[in-house]
Amino acid sequence: MRRSKLNALVRSFTLLASVGAPCLGYAADLLPPLPPEPLPPPVEIGGAWYLRGDVGVGAASYEKVVTTVKGGYLPDDYTIHQKNMGDQFFAGGGIGYQFNGFLRGDITGEYRGGSRFSFVEKFNLPYGDGTPAKGIDYDQGNLSSVVAMANGYIDLGTWYGVTPFVGGGIGAAFHTVSGFNDTGAGSAAGGFGIAATKHTTNLAWAAMAGLGYSVTPNLKLELGYRYMNLGHVGTGPVTCFNDPGCGGASYRLKEVTSHDVRIGMRWMLGGIVADYQPEPAPLIRKY
């Protein structure tokens, strides 16, 4: 009797297995397919590169004038007075890279022009009969420059869409002095001379600060101040027309500087980097 029951139980399990196996296979067919492998990240055109453009005006000046007379000497009591340099306008552009939310750098080139400089030379020059007198030369010329700079900036955080920044730059200034002439007065009245166009290359450096504003995620406007040191500029030797003995002097304007106000824009080419947001102070509850 016990063996009959065991055989009946085995036959029952066999029947269940034969019926359930096709059902399990059918259920497996109904399972959703495995998700596809993730695609590689898209390649961004431009990354965090940006283009920039700037225009502005600078209040230019120079520290002193150094006069050299080749094969000659300066008159007694020679002095320089009334040093002056007109404002410069400038326009430029460049390409840069935003490294993260607070650090960026760019390479720029700009043209600076519209600046006319002048100074007055005074010296002892007696009249022909020996009467003591002062000779005067009024000197003036035009200065234009092409400046190439490598710049770095630190963005100091963003508040209400406005980002203050500081920065600095170093590069080279390629100066051109043209239209230089001097006109005599006093006991040097009637004298007139000119100098040929002169090109000078110098180290240039700058310190900057300003405010940036995001018009769109890709377009940023800037209003900034820049102190620019352009080194020195020089003139060619002066040739006098009606006094062969007066020629040969050349001049060097030392420490040419400019206080610039500029308006600029930056156009992000891709890979927008979020502006740096300072972390809020921790919340402290007092009971």
Q: How many angstroms from the chain centroid is the CA of residue 246?
A: 43
Residues belonging to the chain: 287
Low-confidence ranges of the chain (pLDDT < 70): 1-47, 243-247, 271-287
Model pLDDT, residue 227: 98
What is d(CA 152, CA 148) in angstroms, rounded to the nearest whole number? 14
Its pTM stands at 0.75
Query: What is the model's pLDDT at position 126?
Result: 81
Q: Are 107 and 119 in contact (CB under 8 A)?
A: no
Residue 43 is predicted with a pLDDT of: 45
Radius of gyration over alpha carbons of the chain, in Å?
Answer: 39
Q: How much is the pLDDT for 8? A: 54
Per-residue confidence (pLDDT) for residue 191, from 0 to 100: 83
Instruction: For 72-115, write each residue's pLDDT tens digit.
Output: 778 778 899 999 999 999 999 999 999 998 999 999 999 999 89
Predicted pLDDT of residue 72: 72
Beta-sheet strand order (sheet of 233-234): 64-69, 249-254, 233-234
pLDDT at 28: 47
Q: Tell me what pLDDT residue 24 has.
A: 46
Residue 270 is predicted with a pLDDT of: 73
Residue 277 has a pLDDT of: 52
The structural domains of the chain, ordered by start, are: 49-268 (2.40.160.20)
What is residue 27's predicted lDDT score, i.e. its pLDDT?
46
- 110-143 b/e (C-beta count within 10 Å ≥ 16 → b): bebeebebebbbbbebeeeeeeeeebbbebebbb
